């Protein structure tokens, strides 16, 4: 009996599969960015000055470019009740979508600084912001180009948030 059971486990183990999830992220210097990307990154960098980050001291700026070229910036907004604050990415996307509900978001740039200055490595969006970026892509049926700024290197995710959100919860399952 034991042997049989053992055999059973073995068979199951052999059937187990693995899937490898891969993400393509381009790495480049600030100087290597296209003029259009640099403009959006510069807007995000400039926006960090308006961040309200009195608790973390981590000032984040974001900028989105809409389908007609309009640029909208935003920053993180903190609160003494910590979860009531909001990241720069979501502040910016929600503001853009509230002001221009019919204009697709085409690109998003993110930058951050502390009292020591700008970060050497790119700042990457948190999980909740990634989910909101996904929703925005779905809403406008348009992938969002994402440019993450660091003084030493920048990351570009060219064709939408999916590489940063593997196995994401997709609204299609609700249909």
Per CB under 6 A, residues contacting ligand THU are: 53, 56, 58, 60, 76, 78, 85, 87-89, 123, 125-126, 129
The DSSP symbol for 175 reads -
From 89, 116, 137, 175, active-site residue: 89
Residues 6 or more apart in contact with residue 128 via CB below 8 angstroms: 87, 90
The CB-of-24 to ligand THU minimum distance in angstroms stands at 20
Cβ–Cβ under 8 Å, residues 137 and 146: no
- Complex with ligand THU: residue 6 or 56, whichever CB lies closer: 56
Structure tokens, 89: 């990415």
CB of 86 to ligand THU, least distance (A): 8
Does the annotation mark 89 as catalytic? yes
Question: What's 148's DSSP letter?
Answer: E
What is the rounded distance in angstroms from the CA atom of residue 35 to the CA atom of residue 63?
Answer: 15
CB of residue 105 to ligand THU, shortest distance in Å? 16
b/e per residue, 10-35, with b = 16+ CB within 10 A? eeeeeeeeeeeeeeeeeeeebeebee
| Nearest distance, CB of residue 61 and ligand THU, angstroms | 9
Nearer to ligand THU, 64 or 129 (CB): 129
Shorter beta-carbon distance to ligand THU: residue 85 or 163: 85
Nearest to ligand THU of 63, 129 (CB atom): 129
Active site residues: 89
């Amino acid at each position: 009996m034991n042997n049989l059971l053992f055999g059973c486990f073995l068979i199951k183990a052999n059937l187990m599969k693995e899937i490898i999830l891969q993400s393509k992220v381009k790495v480049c210097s600030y100087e290597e960015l296209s003029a259009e990307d640099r403009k959006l990154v510069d807007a995000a960098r400039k926006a960090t000055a308006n961040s309200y980050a009195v608790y973390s001291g981590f000032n984040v700026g974001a900028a989105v470019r809409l389908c007609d070229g309009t640029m909208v910036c935003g920053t993180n907004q903190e609160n003494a009740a910590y979860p009531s604050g909001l990241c720069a990415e979501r502040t910016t996307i929600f503001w853009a979508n509230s002001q221009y509900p019919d204009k697709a978001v085409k690109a998003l740039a993110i930058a951050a600084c502390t009292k020591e200055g700008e970060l050497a490595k790119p700042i990457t969006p948190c999980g909740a912001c990634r989910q909101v970026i996904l929703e925005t892509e779905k809403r406008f049926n348009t992938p969002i180009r994402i440019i993450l700024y660091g003084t030493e290197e920048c990351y570009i995710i060219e064709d939408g948030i999916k590489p940063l959100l593997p196995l994401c919860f997709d609204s299609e399952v609700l249909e």
